[in-house]
Structure 1
Amino acid sequence: MWDRLTPSQLVELLDTTSDALLVLDRNGRPAAANAALLRLLDAGLDDLDPEHPLLAAAADSLSHTAPGGARLQLQVRRLPLADGGQALWFRDCTEQQRLQQELSEQTLTDPVTGLLNRRGLSVALEPQVSRCRRYDSPLSLVLLELRGDVDDPARVRVSRILKDQLRWADMIGCNEDQRFILALPETRQADAEQLIAKLRERLAAEFASELVDTGFGVAEWRKADNTQTLLNRAAAALAPAAASTAAG
């Protein structure tokens, strides 16, 4: 359809829409634009610099600062025209991306493994930490880091092993940065370390022929801990192992 339209026909067709349209002639020079595009530029076509980011758009999307200072996320399409020129079609996806980001932040599960994500685990951990404060009951947190050639199928395999090895009362979370978080209610650090030894052996057998290694950090709840400080201490326990691996 588009390759049968002249520049003027295309601009007339879209001049009442919110999408911005810039028509280039066969030499790549601006030939026409609709009202939405001129609002984006806050200038006329004669003032359009050939190096302007909109004119030079090569990707399927780009960020653009509107005249009022708002940062827009634009979807970009290139449409061939009948006279040998082309049209650049810009659609504002800022609100859509904002809503997707909000939805992502509200999601409690990891899309790959189906486990709790960090936010979901934090929500689930709050009652456990409150219980520790109230009854002085033990709670250990284990951070498992995958290192090496790790893809999504590998993360799924690890999640299955963890589900098989842990108790029903234990909680498993998974971050997108190749880390798993294990929350172990009624568990002292010494018992958590015994579990780590079993997991290390099981994972080593699972990835025996692959370039995948594991690191562990563990922290037991203390009276001054909240959910974040407990996570931080588990991460700090993992850091020396990660540093020594990198140094080697």
Structure 2
Amino acid sequence: MTFSLKRVNAIFMKDYKDLLKNSYVLFTIALPIFYSMLLSKISDDDPTMTLFPINLALIITGAFIQAAIVAEEKEKNTLRGLLLSPASTLEILVGKSALTAVVTLIVILVSVKISGLEMLSIPFSALLIALSLIFYLALGTMLGLLSRTVMETSIIGMPFLLLFGMMSMFKPMFENELILNAIGYLPNEQFAVAWVTLSESGQIGDIVGELIVLTLWALAAVVITVITYGKRRFD
């Protein structure tokens, strides 16, 4: 079966129409933008706080919105028909992720504009955002497949929000070097390190290590999501 943009577009348009009717999703989308507005009023040179709007947009919009969209399909009993449709696994995953990806990028751009965050190397910054976005979209799809309802995605997803979205704030609480090193390899931490490095030097050669780690996180998330999708397909 060949990849069909027509089927992908049909899934995209269906999700778009459903999104406009979902007040929970629309409210969630506004959270990173609201935080950016607050941050713009505060002068803070801490890179963790400066990059928080982007990380929040990725985890809240990229993962949680994606999870809500998939879980809503399950809640309405329409996901089963989609999983058993002629659409391939790739078409369904791309189609279900396309809208969230577009919305997340818009939220990131708005958040960057409001917070005044500088993007000194746009191509490399875009690469970092793209790799992170793939990871969070895959994570959100997996959470949606594992959840029975839209509200359940918030419960299941809360540990991931704390781990990938807010762990940087909790680092001062830990003194164990092993734990701190483990936290340093989280995708949000690698993203922050690479972003700060680019803002100082602007050379992609200085962030090769971070790009490799982010790529591995993205690939692992996609593989786990595809496996989860395969199991749920025949559940």
Name the TM-score, length of structure 2 as normaliser: 0.26
Larger-gyration structure (1/2)? 1
Higher relative contact order (CA 8 A, sep 6+): 2
**Structure richer in helix, relative to its length:** 2
Name the TM-score, length of structure 1 as normaliser: 0.25
